[in-house]
Amino acid sequence: MLTFIGLGLFDEKDISLKGLEAIKNADMVFAEFYTSRLMGSTIEELEKLYGKTVHILSREDVEISPEWLAEAKEKNVVFLTGGDTMVSTTHVDLRLRAKNLGIGTKLIHGSSIASAICGLSGLQNYRFGKASTIPHPYTSIRGKTIISETPYDTIKLNKEHNMHTLVFLDIDKDKGYMTVNQALSLLLEIEERRGEGVMENAIVVGIARAGSDEPVVKAGYAHYLREADFGDPLHILVVPASLHFIEAEALVKLLGAPQEILDELDD
Ligand SMILES: C[S@@+](CC[C@H](N)C(=O)[O-])C[C@H]1O[C@@H](n2cnc3c(N)ncnc32)[C@H](O)[C@@H]1O
């Protein structure tokens, strides 16, 4: 049996009691932390709580050659991830591989950044369109810096359909955790190059360390938030479409967005 367990958002205490029980009853514990991480805990702290050794898997171990899966044919194996286990990851592929090997699977859910952003920002979850991820720029073989324009296009398309955009920020083992500031710089750079106006007067929401005791949640114009201090990772960005009155009120009264966005709705 292979049980997928979502560990929640920030530290070892975010796991559900069901998840903890399943780990304690497991024969082997595997985890991947390249799609998301519990920034408030170390592996040692997780192992101490579980009373088990946690085997950390690389992207290759999960997506290319998951030989460890064979253990789940005879044993009770758990696979841990940050957040909820099937949100914005390729883990469904792993579940299908297990199914093809005749291994039974089960899911134990955890809190997810996908719903935490609604709670922290006041933006309505049913108003979100396609999500996107901003990757770190990379250097081409000709030595040119390449910035992906896909997230900008996704935001543009969602806005045309009056839908909010959730923008995940890259985690890279060499380049580190992308910040809200870096993400906004990249989007504004693309905008300037293309001469379009998607971000120029956009109110955006930046969130850091959701699930911790001191998350930072700020709303304001993109140029302004690009310079704001969000502190340590993980960070995430939301680019709202036009705002419902309650959403605008939440952004102004809870997140520090300028009062003018509420006044404009009154006119
Ligand atoms: C690819 S998503 C994985 C989502 C995860 N499976 C979940 O359900 O929460 C990972 C990205 O979400 C964002 N993220 C995840 N946890 C976060 C947190 N606690 N606070 C802020 N951003 C977070 C970061 O941008 C990170 O790079």
CATH of the domain at 12: 3.40.1010.10
pLDDT of residue 175: 95
DSSP for residue 194? H
Residue 264, pLDDT score:
87
| pLDDT at residue 227, as a whole number | 97
Q: What is the mean pLDDT of residues 99-127?
A: 97
Cα 198 from Cα 84, distance rounded (Å): 31
Last residue in a domain, options 80, 111, 142? 111
Phi, psi (deg, nearest 5) at residue 105:
-130, 160
Choose one of 87, 111, 135: the last residue of a domain: 111
The complex's ipTM works out to: 0.99
Confidence bin at 219 (pLDDT 50/70/90): very high
223 is known to lie in a ligand binding site:
no
What are the C-alpha distances in Å from 143 to residues 17, 67, 137? 50, 37, 12
Average pLDDT value over all residues in the chain: 96
Mean pLDDT in residue range 242-257? 97
pLDDT one-digit tens code per residue, 84-99: 999 977 799 999 999 9
Pocket around ligand 1: residues whose beta carbon is below 6 Å from it? 9-10, 35-36, 81-84, 87-89, 112-114, 168-169, 171, 207-211, 234-236
CB 49 within 8 A of CB 21: no
Amino acid at 130: K
Of 83, 111, 139, which one is at a domain's C-terminal end?
Answer: 111
Is 90 exceeded by the pLDDT of residue 33? yes
- CA angle at residue 61 from 92 to 54, to 5 degrees? 95
Q: Quote the ligand 1 centre to 234 CA distance (angstroms).
A: 7
**How many C-beta neighbours within 10 Å does residue 36 have?**
22
Q: How far is the CA of 195 from the centre of ligand 1 (A)?
A: 31
Q: How confident is the model at residue 220 (pLDDT cuts 50, 70, 90)?
A: very high
Which residue range is the domain that position 252 belongs to? 114-266
- Mean pLDDT computed over 73-92: 93
Quote the pTM value.
0.96
Question: What was the pLDDT predicted at 183?
Answer: 98
Residue 247 and residue 81: Cα distance in Å, rounded? 31
Same domain, yes or no: 75 and 140: no
